[in-house]
């Protein structure tokens, strides 16, 4: 999971981040990304320069650039806390992930000001008026600048921090316990799982026509795969072996004209033949294909005993579709 933390001056957002780090969360600070950029330019690191360089990067590379750079630091299978998130476009990008949640740490202004005075940092505001002025600078209406107020409004959870550090830690740990299982990536259903594999299979295609891929599945297990291309031990179509495909790509023949034969086998055809070659039954199987089958492949599917065809794109061949329907083979096109 990734927890984004925002909040006003001395609200306790860094304390929440420290608690999460103690819980083995990896810390990714957007400010550290900006510090690294200032170091590259051999510039002194100040708060004003951090704000300036952040605005510059957003203007040059888009308002969500820091979020993109932060995601490059994410380790698969680990928990992360993102801090210094200051632009709504950064939040929008992160919210596309199922494992991300934005939280806003809040505390009354008087409490926050007391904390500021107590820590006594040189760059901190010394009066309430100065505090309000500094916070106003971080609430711009410029889409490429800091918009802390808008970011806070986008948070799904608000953590109130007006008491002790011990209570804040309890709240933070409870938040993680409540969200840890909700923020897991959802698995694709079986249809999209197998179709994505068919999409990968089609990348092996050697035909100069559109790439197509197919897989045959029984009991949720893949028994064979196929893609369109020339037969075994025959020179590949994309190396000039198929006269029809070569003529078409040289502009000597229009697409859809079959005056010259194509020597390439279709993806569905190859998946069925590969199963036969390896002695695997296709009876009662499901075939996943990136295109609905043509007339020839439909006939093979029927005779191979395949019960269902799941396709990604509808191919303009009504003959094949009608054959499947008349033979009682179920055909579905994924939405």
Q: Give catalytic residue positions.
A: 268
Locate 138 and state its tokens.
């971080």
Residues 6+ apart with CB under 8 A from 111: 162
Locate 189 and state its tokens.
């259903």
SS (H, E, C) the chain: CEEEEEECCCCCHHHHHHHHHHCCCEEEEHHHHHHHHHHHCCCCCCHHHHHHHHHHHHHHHCCCHHHHHHHCCCCCCCCEEEECCCCHHHHHHHCCCCCEEEEEEECCHHHHHHHHHHHCCCCCCCCHHHHHHHHHHCECCCCCCCEHHHHHHCCCEEEECCCCHHHHHHHHHHHHHHHCCCCCCCCCCHHHHHHHHHHHHHHHCCCCCCCCEEEEEECCEEEEEEECECCCCCCCHHHCCCHHHHHHHCCCCCCCCCCCCCCCECHHHHHHHHHHHCCCCCCCCEEEEEECCCHHHHHHHHHCCCCEEEEEECCCCHHHHHHHHHCCCEEEECC
Pairing of strands 213-218, 221-227: antiparallel
Sheet containing strand 157-160, strands side by side: 26-29, 80-83, 2-7, 100-106, 157-160
């Amino acid at each position: 999971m990734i927890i984004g933390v925002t909040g006003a001056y001395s609200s306790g957002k860094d304390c929440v981040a420290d608690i999460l780090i103690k819980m083995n969360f990896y810390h990714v600070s957007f400010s550290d990304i900006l510090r690294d950029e200032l170091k590259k330019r051999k510039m002194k690191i100040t708060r004003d320069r951090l704000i300036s360089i952040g605005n510059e990067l957003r203007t040059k590379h888009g308002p969500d650039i820091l979020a993109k750079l932060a995601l490059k630091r994410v380790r698969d299978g680990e928990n992360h806390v993102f801090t210094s998130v200051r632009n709504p476009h950064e939040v929008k990008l992160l919210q596309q992930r199922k494992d991300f949640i934005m939280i806003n740490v809040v505390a009354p202004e008087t409490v926050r000001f007391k904390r500021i005075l107590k820590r006594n940092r040189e760059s901190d505001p010394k009066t309430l008026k100065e505090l309000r002025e500094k916070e106003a600078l971080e609430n711009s209406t410029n889409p490429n600048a800091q918009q802390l107020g808008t970011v806070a409004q986008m948070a799904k959870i608000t953590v109130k921090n007006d008491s002790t550090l011990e209570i804040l830690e309890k709240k933070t740990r409870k938040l993680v316990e409540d969200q840890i299982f909700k923020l897991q990536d959802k698995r694709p259903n079986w249809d999209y799982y197998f179709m994505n594999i068919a999409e990968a299979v089609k990348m092996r295609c050697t035909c100069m026509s559109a790439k197509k891929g197919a897989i045959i599945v029984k009991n949720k297990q893949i028994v064979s795969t196929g893609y369109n291309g020339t037969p075994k031990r025959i020179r590949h179509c994309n190396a000039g072996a198929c006269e029809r495909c070569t003529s078409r790509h040289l502009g000597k023949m229009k697409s859809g004209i079959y005056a010259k034969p194509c020597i390439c086998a279709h993806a569905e055809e190859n998946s069925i033949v590969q199963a036969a070659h390896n002695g695997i039954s296709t009876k009662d199987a499901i075939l996943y294909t990136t295109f609905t089958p043509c007339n020839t492949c439909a006939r093979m599917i029927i005779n191979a005993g395949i019960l269902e065809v799941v396709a990604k794109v509808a191919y303009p061949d009504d003959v094949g579709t009608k054959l499947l329907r008349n033979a009682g083979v179920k055909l579905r096109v994924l939405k």
